[in-house]
Amino acid sequence: RDLHSFPTRRSSDLDGDVRGLVKTAGQGLSLSTVVKLAKDMFLALDFMKRCKFIHADLKPDNMLFYNSRQNVKFGDLGIAYKAADAVLHPMDNAGSRFYRSPEALLGIPHSYGIDTWAIACSLYEIFSGQILFPGRHNNEMLEAIQDVRGKIPHSLQKRGRLSWHHFNQIDGLFKQAIELDTEGRPYTWRVRTDIRQHPTRDIKVRLLAAAKIKNLDAEESKKARQFADQIGRASCRERV
């Protein structure tokens, strides 16, 4: 069946969005709650894959509670499209900036991986209460991503139609924007040579720091490490 043939719940059947609850909590939700929500999210993502659709705008605002906040579903499929039509949907300026994947930012042909990336960013935020990649524009997004996930390899850069706005074409070094042109591309920049292949404060380190604030017991700390590994896999370059 086609994705749009399934009935949707009325707004009166829903219990708000995840963003609202995270704001109320202040420092993010409990690990047990986040793990439960993650299961629902990946089940929903698997369903969308089986329907061959890409959501393209996943974020905590579009993750909606139902069943007395025991479960979540995806909402706002306004820019969703069939995976076969992905080439017709450039994502560098579509969707919500904080949740855009590297392939979307660089103009690399994309697929379901952009939704997997957005879920990983959302889960980090739901647990820690902090946005993982708070860039003001695409260049800052790419810089923030590399500071956490490591340098985007030259081989991957070469696949993107927009890569050379942000990287030197010869050596692949990142161009940190100082000024942007009218289309949001770096107009003046400085080259960063200090971006590491394996940053010291990667996603796992940051998540475990957030877990420490929550004073988890030994068993919960073990689950937090497993959760961090899952988020790391969901935001790895091998998705592309």
Cβ–Cβ < 8 Å for 141, 176 = no
Q: Is residue 171 flagged as an active site residue?
A: no
> Which residue do the tokens 């942007």 mark?
180
- C-alpha 44: how far from its chain's center? 16
99-to-51, 102, 144, 175 alpha-carbon distances in Å: 22, 10, 12, 21
Catalytic-role residue among 57, 147, 194, 217: 57
**DSSP labels, 148-195:** HH-PPPHHHHTT-TTGGGTB-TTT--EEEEEEE-TTSSEEEEEEE---
Name the residues annotated as catalytic: 57
